[in-house]
Each structure stands twice: as structure tokens, then as C-alpha cells.
Chain A
Amino acid sequence: MKRPWRWLIPLAAVPVLALLAYGFRVSPRDIPSPLVGRPAPAFALATLEGAPLSLASHRGKVVVLNFWASWCYPACYEEAPVLERNWRGYRDRGVVVVGVDIQDKREAAQKFVGDLGLTFPIAQDLKGTVSVDYGVYGVPETFFLDRQGRIRVKHVGAVTDDVFRATVDRLLAEAGSP
């Protein structure tokens, strides 16, 4: 018996293979944030030492807002020296690095800061409200804010020197320098 359409049967696998080929190329961690381009949510938290730390106090600067936790190994341990190095290099040029410690214990966070010799301001988000305001779903995540206080870039995973410099240089080069 002749079945002229038989060769079409293997073709049914093509859409499935195409879907898989697409799916395996896309990282499940690259989730577009609806916050990019929007004003950064304001917050007023306390540092690990209990001093007040608000986003508003850094208005007019390029802000690198880094969400981290002491249990986030190894990514947070890799990027902390990068953040510290660039904070020292850029702090006189209107750039501030602000760390937000989330889902963490104060002692563990203080040990992390001491061990890695971090000197940039670090706040603790004890209730998780700031994490939710920024749509944070893991650590580390870093938001680059322009001088007008808008979120311009969201970086998921450890920040490297290249990412830090390229992004901050671009934001510094924009109009609106003080």
C-alpha cells in the first residue's frame, strides 16, 4: 500500500527540536527586569553598625547598588574585591557603591565585610522589603543608577572589573554632571 505522506512523519520532530535548540541557548537566569529605565525605589535602611543609610543621600551620583549575602559563595566573594577596588578608584568622581546585605545574619555579614576589607557603605535589608522593591531574586545582583536616580542596568551574577568600568564610565559620560 502506497503512503505518499509517510516522509512527513519525521518532520513532526522539527518543531520540537527547534524549541529545544532555542530553549537550551537561553539562560533561565536572564529574566528581563521591568525596573530598567524606571526611577530606583527609595529606601532608608541601617548599616551593619546601625547608622542610617538612604538612597536619597546619594542623589546626583552614579550609584552602584549591590545586593549580596555572606552565604553567597563563591560569586559574592569573587565580586566583593572588584567592588571595593572600583569604589576606591571612582569615589572621587561622583560614584558611590552601596551594598545591601539580604537574607543574612549580622555577625556573618560583619565577618564578611571584615575579612574582605570592604569600606563602601553597606545596609542590611532585614525584612526583605528593599529586595522585593528591586525585584531581586538571587544574589549577587547589581543595579547601576544614573545621576537622575533611574535604574539603567541590572547585572545578575558577579560583577567584573570590565562590567563595572564600562557601565560606570558610560553613565559618567552622560550629561548632567554636577
Chain B
Amino acid sequence: MSRGAFELFAALVLLGAALSPAAAQTAKPASEEVVHEVATQLRCVVCQNLSVADSPSEMASQMRAIIRERLAAGESPADVQRFFVDRYGEWILLSPPRRGFNLLVWLLPLGAVAVGLAATVALVWRWTRRRRGVRPPPVAVDAAMSERIRRELESGS
């Protein structure tokens, strides 16, 4: 009887030990929303133009598992991002950080739009001004011609 109880106790201890890593994870589960948010900012390394959140590849799913694990261990999303940048470089980030040389990527399109708008405004202003200033010379139409135009309009051909 007491031996049976001891065996039961030992089995429970072993079971507890086996489950403890799983228990530690379920104790502080990472919300899938945060996992997804971190994953959308990381480039799937095997597909280059997809995020880790969007890629169905095995590598991406392993990276999502790593994100989930690190968040569950108490790291912040920024920590997890830094973890990947430390290993892959800034290349892993889908949008380059807004500093240094990278600023060009953010500012050039804005500059291009500004230049394009300015050019459009200037051109439109010039075209409209020219039409207002200089009237096109009236086309001379003699009586025979206007008679012919009238006839052809009426015949509908």
C-alpha cells in the first residue's frame, strides 16, 4: 500500500517535471496579436519580399515560433526585433529605420511629389495665362466656304 503510494507520488513528480516547460509557457502565453505584429515587420528570409507573418514557408513558421517563445519569456516586441536585427542586420526589417542614409528612402518620394506638384502648377499657370493674353487670330471664311460648311453639316455626311 505505502509502496503503491510512493510510486504514484514518484510518477506525479516525474509528470510534473516533464510538463514544467510547457507549464512555464502557458503561464505567460504570448498573445498571437503581438506575435503577428512583430512578424509583420520582419522579412521572411527565404522569400525576400514577404513578411514572416505572411509567408507559409517552414523557415517563417520557425521564426514565428521563436518570436512566440521570446515574447512568452518576457521580452518586449522591440527586444525581439533587436534579436533578429543582431543576427541578420537591418536587412531583416521590412521598412528601413528612419535615420541616417535610410532617410533618403523616406524623403525622396516626398521630394518627388513636391517637385511634380510645383511643375504641374507652373505649367498650368503658364498655359492658361498664354491663352488669356494672346487671342488666336480669327480664321477667314468667305461666303462660298461657309455655304459649303452649312450644306455638308445639313446633309450629315
Contact = CB atoms under 8 A, between A and B. Distances in A.
A133 B87 CA distance: 6
Contacts of B65: 127-128
Given A103-B58, A137-B46, A128 B63 contact: yes
Given A103-B58, A136-B45, A137-B46, A34 B86 contact: yes
A32 interface: yes
A163 to B, nearest CB: 22
A35 B88 CA distance: 8
A80 to B, nearest CB: 20
Interface in B36-62: 45-46, 48, 58-59, 62
B9 interface: no
B72 to A, nearest CB: 15
Contacts of B58: 103, 128
Nearest to A136: B45
Chain A CB within 10 Å, residue with most, of B48, B59, B65, B86: B59
Given A35-B87, A134-B87, A128 B66 contact: yes
Question: Which interface class (under 10, 10 to 19, 20 to 34, 35 or more) fits A?
Answer: 10 to 19
B89 interface: yes
B88 A131 contact: no
A137 B45 contact: yes
Question: Which interface class (under 10, 10 to 19, 20 to 34, 35 or more) fits B?
Answer: 10 to 19
Contacts of A127: 62, 65
A18 interface: no
A135 interface: yes
Contacts of A35: 87
Query: Which applies to chain B's interface (DSSP): helix, strand, loop or mixed?
Result: helix
B91 interface: yes
Contact of A34 (B45, B46, B63, B87): B87
Contacts of B85: 34
Contact of B62 (A33, A128, A134): A128
A114 B86 CA distance: 36
Nearest to A35: B87
Interface string A24-58: 00001001111100000000000000000000000
Contacts of B45: 136-138
A132 interface: yes
B87 A132 contact: yes
A132 B89 contact: no
A138 B88 CA distance: 12
A131 B91 contact: no
A86 to B, nearest CB: 27
Given A132-B62, A137-B46, 8 more contacts: A34-B85, A34-B86, A35-B87, A103-B59, A127-B65, A131-B59, A136-B45, A138-B46
